[in-house]
């Protein structure tokens, strides 16, 4: 194996404040049962892919995406309980089967509308596959900045 192997990283999907998963107001995600991850309180609605990979699922409702690549799987879930909006406020930038580069557009979310409808816009990134010694970087981030490093 090359000693120049790049560090494994998962990027922030949007501009905003990264919080620990346990502080996300969704019992299922915060329980950690679905995997390691984080929440981000977005300050703008453009959402980008956290990893290089293939879009394995893009929900019709535009609020959730799964991407597989680099030997891991990532779920990006925009907002809490936003499945109930049935697509309102979301525009997908990808479809199932698309190849996607890290930090390229995944979806657009109309944060103002989602908030007005009474939903929390906190976006959750969970990694259901095992990560080796993951390290989360909290606080304000720009989309594309490193959120998680792992071995």
Whether the CA torsion 40, 46, 49, 55 is positive or negative: it is: positive
Q: Rank residues 75 and 147 by Cβ distance to other proteins and give the closer one.
A: 75
Distance CA 125, CA 121 (A): 13
Q: How far is the CB of 64 from other proteins (least distance, A)?
A: 6
Q: With b meaning 16 or more CB within 10 Å and e meaning fewer, what string describes 34-67?
A: bbbbbbbbbeebebbbbbebebbebbebbbbbbb
Q: Rank residues 19 and 34 by Cβ distance to other proteins and give the closer one.
A: 34
Q: Rank residues 71 and 139 by Cβ distance to other proteins and give the closer one.
A: 71
Site string for other proteins, 70-99 (x = CB under 8 A): ---x-x-x-----xx-x-------------
In a 3-state reduction of DSSP, which class is residue 128?
coil
Q: How far is the CB of 144 from other proteins (least distance, A)?
A: 23
Interface residue with other proteins, options 68, 70, 98, 145 (CB under 8 A):
68
How many angstroms from the chain centroid is the CA of residue 62?
A: 13
Positions marked active-site: 77
- 42, two tokens: 């977005």
Give the footprint of other proteins on this chain (CB under 8 A): 28-29, 33-35, 56-57, 59-61, 64, 66, 68, 73, 75, 77, 83-84, 86, 126, 128
């Amino acid at each position: 194996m090359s000693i120049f192997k790049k560090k494994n990283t998962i990027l922030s999907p949007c501009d905003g404040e990264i919080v620990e998963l346990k502080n996300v107001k969704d019992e299922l995600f915060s329980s950690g049962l679905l995997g390691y991850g984080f929440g981000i309180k977005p300050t703008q609605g453009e959402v980008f892919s956290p990893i290089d990979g293939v879009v394995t699922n893009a929900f019709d409702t535009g609020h959730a995406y799964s991407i597989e690549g680099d030997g891991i799987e990532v779920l990006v879930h925009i907002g809490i309980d936003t499945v109930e909006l049935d697509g309102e406020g979301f525009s997908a930038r990808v479809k199932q089967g698309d190849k996607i580069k890290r930090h390229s557009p995944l979806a657009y979310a109309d944060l103002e509308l989602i908030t007005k409808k009474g939903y929390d816009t906190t976006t959750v990134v969970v990694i259901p596959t095992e990560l080796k010694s993951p390290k989360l970087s909290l606080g304000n981030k720009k989309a594309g900045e490193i959120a998680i490093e792992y071995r």
